[in-house]
Amino acid sequence: MERSLVLIKPDAMQRGLAGTIISRLENLGLKLVAMKLLHPDKALAQRHYAIHKDKPFYDSLVNYISSAPLIVCVFEGKGAVEAIRKAMGATDPAKAEAGTIRGDFGLDIERNTIHGSDSAATAEEEIKLFFSPDEMFSY
């Protein structure tokens, strides 16, 4: 079984969309195996988005994701990363298809409601940033 990290971003939290987003992912047959409410500090946000460090939007992204609480989840299932990426839609909500999470709820390219790991290898590293092994459950 594959695992993927999901962040329900501050804009989704502020608009009360967390339950809807989690439900959409569970309805794909994915199992929620870890979850916590967290207000990340800038250091954690910088580690999470380190891959974008040299990009012009890096500082804005770090400031945004550390601006308010978010829900951090791990979902598990066959092809979890790909299933979540498809359900999220394009990074830019203006380009995301209707029926995807970002297409339905995203505000702009930064405030796009959700982050999901882009590969199984990335998921493994991202999960370690937010969860210890004893915080994830099999059932």
Catalytic residue positions? 115
8-state DSSP, 33: E
pLDDT given at position 96:
97
Q: What is the pLDDT of residue 37?
A: 98
* pLDDT score for 9: 97
Number of C-beta neighbours around residue 77 at 10 A: 20
Question: Average pLDDT of 102-109?
Answer: 96
Are 3 and 75 in contact by the 8 Å Cβ rule? The answer is yes
What's the pTM value of the predicted model, to 2 decimals? 0.94
Domain annotation for the chain: domains and CATH numbers: 2-135 (3.30.70.141)
Which residue type sits at 70?
L
